[in-house]
Amino acid sequence: MSLSKEQVIEVFKKGFPDSKAIIESIEPMQAVMRLPVDVKHLRPGATVSGPAMMTMTDAVMWVAIIGEKGEQGFNSVTSSLSINFLKRPKHSDLIAKAEILKLGRRLVVGEVRLFSEGEDEPVAFSTVTYAIPSD
Amino acid sequence: MSLSKEQVIEVFKKGFPDSKAIIESIEPMQAVMRLPVDVKHLRPGATVSGPAMMTMTDAVMWVAIIGEKGEQGFNSVTSSLSINFLKRPKHSDLIAKAEILKLGRRLVVGEVRLFSEGEDEPVAFSTVTYAIPSD
Amino acid sequence: MSLSKEQVIEVFKKGFPDSKAIIESIEPMQAVMRLPVDVKHLRPGATVSGPAMMTMTDAVMWVAIIGEKGEQGFNSVTSSLSINFLKRPKHSDLIAKAEILKLGRRLVVGEVRLFSEGEDEPVAFSTVTYAIPSD
Amino acid sequence: MSLSKEQVIEVFKKGFPDSKAIIESIEPMQAVMRLPVDVKHLRPGATVSGPAMMTMTDAVMWVAIIGEKGEQGFNSVTSSLSINFLKRPKHSDLIAKAEILKLGRRLVVGEVRLFSEGEDEPVAFSTVTYAIPSD
């Protein structure tokens, strides 16, 4: 069971009503989101902050899971997240690309790459695991 | 060169003027912070959100670095953060304990354990590395 | 159900008949092992090799699990291992200390610190998760 | 400066004279290696052992670095390695694919995916960072 982009957007709005992130595309085992640049995320020595990038990483993997599992994935919880920051992001929108590498019944493992819009080299690279509650 | 708790608090306020986290203690190679519970951090299926815990993890390690390096650590940037969420936090304050394991001139590596106040078992466990810019 | 050091040693010999590592102590939620230095583990630019340290990290957490779960833990498999190498080990025995942070029915999460014998600062620091098969 | 596959093979033999792993291909920022199945690597409950997979992960990233940096990369040392085991490997050769995501002067970050030969889904997924000694 896979959801369309429109269906995922609806679920995302329910789950993250305050998020400013935008769902760009939903493909099998993949999701792409965009975080419009916002001065509020700035911290010392950074452009887009590390926490904003981690939040985005966490969200885009949740969205990829919803795309595959639908509402059944709604209560999924992050069980681990490991991120490497590779270079300073630019003052442009942040693009987050999630790919699911293992779609288990109870466990999902995937990678997320973050880009400054228009750049080829990622600014950060992450591995995320989610636990899917049974019921 | 090590700073006192009061000095670290002053630097923290400059670096994170909007943070609600409170510095509880500064010891050699260690720092403890508290995040007062705040309804705003809640997300689907969670109590304190994963992103709030990651933000806290990132911040407490930065604070531990300031405690050791003073203002020289101000522009430190996270180079990696790896977190395991161990159990659901309670609706109580979040306590973050950082320990520096390697204090290099250019690189700092440490671990962070997060607790729900009053609990013995951590709710999350993390490894964080920071790069210290030369100048 | 917890095993004595002698019982754990017996299980370890069955599981890892060729290992040169020695079990030093078994405490609640903890295990300590020693890897006698061996020229064979050397690789370019290193003393004790990275792979030897990772193998040791994996083994000492397995041993800590056996200490808690007995034979029931025998078929546990590593689900993730994340290691940071902090400084070059010396030409002395490698000491590995495992601490279980979450002892679930199906999942165990712990940290491992590796030391060159006689040193206070760890040479490596690791997070390990093991899946316990049901049966 | 990039090396040919033949040149990398020569450097690899010097660095890892006892390794049974075979270099399959060297492309810009990428390397592929094969580990022929060997009964010796078996451990309780596994096919190819976790440590054998970690050793392979470490080696293929070193090889990818040699491909880009030549002999200058010879004394590179792993600074972190984070691996997720996704599913049980088969009793077939292990294929390791490394991709460099950040090729810095002093630091290299990359991902490694491990496959059982002939399979599409990876058996393990890893992030590796190497420090390149100066001069």
Q: Is A107 exposed, middle or buried (0-12, 13-18, 19+ CB in 10 A)?
A: middle
Q: Looking up tokens 């909007």, which residue turns up?
A: B18
Concatenate the DSSP letters of all residues of D23-37 into one string: EEEEETTEEEEEE--
> Which residues from chain D sit within 8 angstroms of residue A99, using beta carbons?
none
For residue D40, what pLDDT is reported?
A: 58
Higher pLDDT, B48 or D130: D130
Concatenate the DSSP letters of all residues of B69-83 into one string: HGGGGTT-EEEEEEE
Which of these ranges, A68-77, B8-17, B34-43, C18-27, has the smallest mean pLDDT? B34-43
Sign (positive or negative) of CA dihedral A72, A74, A80, A84: positive
The length of chain A is 135
- Total Cβ atoms within 10 A of residue A52: 25
> Which of A125, A126, A128, A129 best tests the D interface by mutation, with the highest count of D CBs <10 A?
A125
Higher pLDDT, C123 or A49: C123
8 Å CB contact between C81 and C128: yes
Give the pLDDT mean for D52-62. 96
Distance from CA of D34 to the nearest CA of C (A): 17
Which of these ranges, A62-66, A83-87, C59-63, D34-38, has the smallest mean pLDDT? D34-38
Distance from CA of B37 to the nearest CA of C (A): 24
8 Å CB contact between A29 and A89: no
SS3 call for D121? coil
| Terminal Cα-to-Cα distance of chain D (whole angstroms) | 15
> Which of B77, B78, B79 best tests the D interface by mutation, with the highest count of D CBs <10 A?
B79
**What CA–CA distance (Å, rounded) separates A27 from D25?**
30
pLDDT value at A43 more than 90: no
Q: Looking up tokens 């000694």, which residue turns up?
A: D133
B84–chain C Cβ distance below 8 A for any pair:
yes
A125–chain D Cβ distance below 8 A for any pair:
yes
Q: Where are the domains of chain B?
A: 5-131
8 Å CB contact between C105 and C132: yes
Percent of chain D past pLDDT 90, that is, above it, reads: 76
For residue C118, what pLDDT is reported?
A: 92
For residue C134, what pLDDT is reported?
A: 80
For residue A134, what pLDDT is reported?
A: 80
pLDDT, chain D, mean: 91
pLDDT-derived band at A39, boundaries 50, 70, 90: low
Please, which residues have CB within 8 angstroms of residue A88's CB and are 6 or more apart in sequence? A46, A47, A123, B77
Distance from CA of D28 to the nearest CA of C (A): 24
Q: What is the CATH number of domain B5-131?
A: 3.10.129.10
B81–chain A Cβ distance below 8 A for any pair:
yes
- Taking an 8 Å cut-off on Cβ atoms, the answer to whether C84 and B127 are in contact is yes
C70–chain D Cβ distance below 8 A for any pair:
no
C85–chain D Cβ distance below 8 A for any pair:
yes
Mean pLDDT by 10 residues, chain B (135 residues): 91 92 97 84 64 95 97 93 94 95 95 95 96 84
A74–chain B Cβ distance below 8 A for any pair:
yes
A82–chain C Cβ distance below 8 A for any pair:
yes
> Which residues from chain B sit within 8 angstroms of residue A82, using beta carbons?
80-83
Closest to C96 in 3D by CA, of C47, C51, C33: C33
Torsion of CA C118, C119, C125, C129, to 10 degrees: 20
Pairing relationship of beta strands B22-27 and B30-35 according to DSSP bridges: antiparallel
Interface of B with A in 16-35 (CB under 8 A): 16
Please, which residues have CB within 8 angstroms of residue B57's CB and are 6 or more apart in sequence? B81, B83, B96, B112, B114, B124, B126, B128
- Taking an 8 Å cut-off on Cβ atoms, the answer to whether D102 and A87 are in contact is yes
For residue B44, what pLDDT is reported?
A: 53
Which of these ranges, A31-40, C80-89, C94-103, has the smallest mean pLDDT? A31-40
For residue C37, what pLDDT is reported?
A: 81
Q: Is D4 exposed, middle or buried (0-12, 13-18, 19+ CB in 10 A)?
A: exposed
For residue B135, what pLDDT is reported?
A: 63
For residue C116, what pLDDT is reported?
A: 95
Q: What pTM value is reported for the model? A: 0.92
Give the pLDDT mean for A89-98. 93
- Chains touching D (at least 3 CB pairs under 8 A) are A, B, C
> Which of C29, C86, C101 best tests the B interface by mutation, with the highest count of B CBs <10 A?
C101
For residue D8, what pLDDT is reported?
A: 96
ipTM: 0.91
For residue D118, what pLDDT is reported?
A: 92
